[in-house]
Amino acid sequence: MSELKKTLMADMKTAMKEKDTVKKGVINLLRAGIQNQELDLKRELTEEEELKVVQRELKQTKQSLEEGQKANREDIVAAETEKIAIIEHYLPKQLSVDEVKELIAKLGISKESSMGQVVGQMMKETAGSAEGKVVSQAVKEYLNS
């Protein structure tokens, strides 16, 4: 059993003892996502694949948050914000746009490179530690500077 699964199980027990229904629901969502992916692939997921599942759930929750904000639904905004905080706990520290630009500079990527190539390379370099939107923005700023 992977480290993430062990952590999710332990946190699930804690959430149940504390009767924290929101945290329990989020953990169930993450565990189900991982389990469904494993069933689809008929094998255990690697750590990187597990992180992708967690990132996918985070992205969907952020989209729900945006929809709630557009509809001026404070109840949805509050609930989704709480879920985001719980999901982010299971991801590595996320890199900022500036940190990604520093990484691009460290790798010595030329400013004449195509955006697509650089984004692809940076997505591999930052796997799990930066969202695609952040990487894309950082690459665009780096290449245009």
CA 32 distance to own-chain centroid: 16
Distance CA 76, CA 144 (A): 38
Assign 93 to helix, strand or coil: coil
Give the residue extent of every domain in the chain.
Answer: 3-88, 97-144
Count Cα neighbours of 102 within 13 Å in the Cβ-side half-sphere.
5
pLDDT at 142: 86
Task: Split the chain (145 residues) into runs of 10 and give each run's mean pLDDT.
Answer: 92 96 95 95 91 91 94 93 94 87 85 85 82 87 84
pLDDT at 42: 94
Taking Cα atoms as reference points, which of 1, 92, 87 lies closest to residue 38? 1
Under a CB-based contact definition with an 8 Å cutoff, are residues 93 and 57 in contact? no
CA angle 90, 3, 58 (to 5 degrees): 25
Distance CA 65, CA 42 (A): 33
Domain formed by 3-88, architecture: Orthogonal Bundle (1.10)
Quick one: how many helices (H) and strands (E) in the chain?
7, 0
